[in-house]
């Protein structure tokens, strides 16, 4: 990436996610301080080379103050790539509370339309707002065209994007809704599985340990103590999978009727080692197409879990069954052989001198989502399922010394106990 005496840009520690990967085009995004470097990885080993464009997210006026680093208030806390309707977007959350959004297609057009020998003209963001204090959580509901932002104000901001502005100029109008959680909120999540097409439910997690499911259509009512769907909570050192309750019988939420809670304690900690604050699991990634989710920590490790389910007979009703949801840890990255062969894992990565700053995944070259204008007239969710059959995915682990480990996530033949696998791409 940095030939000769090229100065290496700094990767800020202790942020939530400084990398992202496009599903629509061959772009890999890395936040270097307050700018975003856009790379086109090479097929095969996914080597990055030099960025094809560098984005400079705009700053609000007057310039707000930073929360983590007052000297660098506009440094980026999180990058997030998702679909807003039919368009893939890159979202940027900054320490000064700024939130900026770019259409990935606009970035692609800027790169492809550049004049040889001239600098690339940066695309104009479609969104620039400020949430008053360090922005952290970002989540998009694709079909309902909603964007949720959480910050250190303890307030969640939900922006609803319209298809066109009311004044008929063809622009993008939106409405804003806020509600107070009361604590710093590093992570929020919509349900994009298709079971909530209107974007009614939003899950949030605060630094005080509260996990709450918000009904965006109703306010002022106390919700049930048990969820109506399974969900996963990633804590500092543990992963929990909670079973759904029975929405038809909320009064039956008793200890006798509770379903098992599946737990994975310390999935990243090597045996015979002491835990440190570098082992805090603050990275997570869900790949619905593969039925897996990933968790990782600044100490450098990443665990891959497969989601499972099975049916068991209902007590006193032998003809009925109920579904129990589970998870299975199949891989820990880097592989043991990689850790043993590379002294950096022991000398740097386990003592905090080099930290993992981001994990990102997307389809490999030749397996990308279709162009926006080729997706037909169906619902937005269909664009996520247009690829029929298994496709190859790529996973990036990005470290603060600019080391990048890449892996291929591949499907195996059906009928095997484990129908997918991980291969190093380097």
For residue range 52-62, list pLDDT tens digits in order. 999 999 999 98
Average pLDDT estimate for 135-139: 96
Average pLDDT estimate for 1-30: 85
Query: Lowest-confidence range among 65-74, 82-91, 157-166, 286-295?
Result: 157-166
CATH class of 19-424: mainly beta
DSSP 8-state class, residue 17: B
DSSP 8-state class, residue 418: S
Assess contact for 29 and 36: CB atoms under 8 A.
Answer: yes
The counts of H helices and E strands in the chain are: 3, 26
Q: What is the pLDDT of residues 335-375, one digit of tens each?
A: 988 888 877 776 666 666 889 999 999 999 988 888 664 44
Phi and psi at residue 383, to the nearest 5°: -65, -20
Q: What is the pLDDT of residues 307-317, one digit of tens each?
A: 999 888 877 77
Q: In 3D, which of 334, 356, 299 has the Cα closest to residue 424?
A: 334
| pLDDT, position 89 | 97
Residues in the chain: 426
Percent above pLDDT 90 for the chain: 47
* pTM, full prediction: 0.88
Exposed, middle or buried by CB within 10 Å (0-12, 13-18, 19+), for 239? buried
Query: Lowest-confidence range among 19-23, 278-282, 305-309?
Result: 278-282
Mean pLDDT rounded to a whole number for the chain: 83
- Evaluated on CA atoms 241, 247, 248, 251, the torsion sign reads positive
Exposed, middle or buried by CB within 10 Å (0-12, 13-18, 19+), for 53? buried
The Cα–Cα gap between 106 and 86 comes to: 14
Of the pLDDT bands very low, low, confident and very high (cuts 50, 70, 90), residue 5 is low
Q: Where are the domains of the chain?
A: 19-424
Region label for 175, one of left (φ > 0), alpha (ψ between -120 and 50) or beta (otherwise) = beta
Q: Write the CB contacts of 323 (distance below 8 Å, at least 6 apart in sequence).
A: 309, 310, 311
| pLDDT, position 420 | 59
| pLDDT, position 4 | 55
Q: In 3D, which of 101, 97, 100, 102 has the Cα closest to residue 74?
A: 97
């Amino acid at each position: 990436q940095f030939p000769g005496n090229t100065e290496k840009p700094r990767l800020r520690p202790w942020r939530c996610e400084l990398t992202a990967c496009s599903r629509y085009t061959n772009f890999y995004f890395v936040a270097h301080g307050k700018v975003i470097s856009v790379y086109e990885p090479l097929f095969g080993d996914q080597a990055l080379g030099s960025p094809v464009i560098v984005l400079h997210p705009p700053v609000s006026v007057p310039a707000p103050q930073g929360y983590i680093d007052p000297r660098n208030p506009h440094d980026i806390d999180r990058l997030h790539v998702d679909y807003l309707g039919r368009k893939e977007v890159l979202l940027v959350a900054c320490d000064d509370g700024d939130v900026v959004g770019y259409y990935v297609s606009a970035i692609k057009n800027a790169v492809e339309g550049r004049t040889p020998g001239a600098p690339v003209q940066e695309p104009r963001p479609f969104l620039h707002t400020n949430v008053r204090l360090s922005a952290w959580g970002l989540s998009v509901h694709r079909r309902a065209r909603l964007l949720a932002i959480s910050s250190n104000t303890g307030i969640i901001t939900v922006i609803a994007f319209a298809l066109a502005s009311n004044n008929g100029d063809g622009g993008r109008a939106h409405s804003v809704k806020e509600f107070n959680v009361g604590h710093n909120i590093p992570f929020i999540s919509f349900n994009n599985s298709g079971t909530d097409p209107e974007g009614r439910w939003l899950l949030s997690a605060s630094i005080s340990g509260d996990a709450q499911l918000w009904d965006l259509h109703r306010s002022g009512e106390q919700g049930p103590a048990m969820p109506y769907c399974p969900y996963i909570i990633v804590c500092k050192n543990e992963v929990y999978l909670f079973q759904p309750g029975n929405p038809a019988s909320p009064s039956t939420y008793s200890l006798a009727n509770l379903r098992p809670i599946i737990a994975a304690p310390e999935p990243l900690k090597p045996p015979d080692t002491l835990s440190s604050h570098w082992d805090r699991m603050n990275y997570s990634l869900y790949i619905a197409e593969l039925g897996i989710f990933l968790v990782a920590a600044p100490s450098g490790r990443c665990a891959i879990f497969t989601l499972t389910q099975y049916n068991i007979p209902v007590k006193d009703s032998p003809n009925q069954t109920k579904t129990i949801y589970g998870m299975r840890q199949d891989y820990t990255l880097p592989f043991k052989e990689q850790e043993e062969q590379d002294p950096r894992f022991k000398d740097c990565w386990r003592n905090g001198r080099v930290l993992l700053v981001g994990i990102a995944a997307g389809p490999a070259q030749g397996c990308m989502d279709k162009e926006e204008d080729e997706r037909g007239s169906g619902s937005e969710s269909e664009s996520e399922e247009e690829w029929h059959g298994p496709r190859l995915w790529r996973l990036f682990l990005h470290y603060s010394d600019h080391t990048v480990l890449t892996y291929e996530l591949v499907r195996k033949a059906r009928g095997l106990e484990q129908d997918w696998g991980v291969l190093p791409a380097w």
